[in-house]
Amino acid sequence: MSETKHGKSWVLSIPRLTLAALEHSALEVAPNLLGCILVSCSATDGQITAGMITETEAYGGPNDEASHGYRGKTVRNSSFFLPRGHFYVYRSYGIHHCVNITTGDVLLKKHAEGVLIRALFPVEGIDTMRRRRGKDHTFPISKLTAGPGMVTQALCISIEHDGLPLKNATSLWITQPIRVFIKDAITITPRIGITKSQELNWRFRLQATSTN
DNA sequence: AAGAAGATCGGCT
DNA sequence: GCCGATCTTCTTA
């Protein structure tokens, strides 16, 4: 266990996800990130916040019109074109941020691709998350990080993390999965909030539990 | 040059 | 369920 100013931190002792785990297509990696823990150690307030990934979406490749990389590289999406293992953070609707992790073979990658982290189940720093989200102690844990904009707000993820490599990062990283899930626990559906390529079932969600 | 759309969220009806 | 907030990119609505 590692010490923080608020006591022992459980998540700091969990091994990180290896780059090899990201060296596949986004579609293959997206379900594999379910059960991993996204950990944030904020440079602003030093607080550790973390949540188990419960919902992901794959984006990218040559035929995904919903992908930010579909029409090529721009200033905004350039991090999406980085090799596997980098965070791509963008501003959504002018207000929120969304966080992706890039995937793909480091040598063969021809198109931008990555996994959007859409939801977490909080496991550490819950009071900090509530404060950042402007909620009081009565706010249900299961709704704290139940959307991509909420995830970044609760974990203090913003443009400053855009392009950050997760290897050796001290402010933001992903752990190895802490549980093994049976295949039936994962629900596969079309992606949310898009108008193009809606026919692709590229969204992966852990089945609802007793807590949500 | 101007307008629409977008990987969202929260408040209001 | 609908709408507004607010910023970047793409299209010409």
Q: Say yes or no: Cβ of A63 under 7 A from any atom of strand C.
A: no
Kindly tell me the sign of the dihedral angle through the C-alpha atoms of A58, A60, A61, A67.
positive
Q: What pLDDT sits at residue A5?
A: 57
CA–CA gap between residue A82 and residue A1 (Å, rounded):
33
For the CA of A147 and the C1' of C11, the distance in angstroms is 30
CA–CA gap between residue A83 and residue A71 (Å, rounded):
18
Q: Using the CA of A88, which nucleotide's C1' is the nearest one?
A: B7
Q: Say yes or no: Cβ of A141 under 7 A from any atom of strand B.
A: no
Q: What pLDDT sits at residue A212?
A: 36
> How do residues A89-128 score in pLDDT, each as one tens digit?
999 999 999 999 999 987 777 789 999 999 999 999 999 9
Instruction: Phi first, then psi: give them for residue A146, nearest 5 degrees.
Output: -100, 25
- Is residue A210 within 8 A of residue A198, CB to CB? The reply is no
Which strand C bases fall within 7 angstroms of a protein CB?
5-11
Instruction: Phi first, then psi: give them for residue A129, nearest 5 degrees.
Output: -60, -45
Q: Which residues of chain A have pLDDT under 70?
A: 1-7, 180-183, 208-212
For the CA of A93 and the C1' of B2, the distance in angstroms is 19
Q: Collapse the DSSP code of A183 into the 3-class scheme (helix H, G, I; strand E, B; otherwise coil) and give the result.
A: helix
Q: What pLDDT sits at residue A211?
A: 38
Q: What pLDDT sits at residue A210?
A: 38
Q: Say yes or no: Cβ of A195 under 7 A from any atom of strand C.
A: no
> How do residues A51-60 score in pLDDT, each as one tens digit?
999 999 999 9
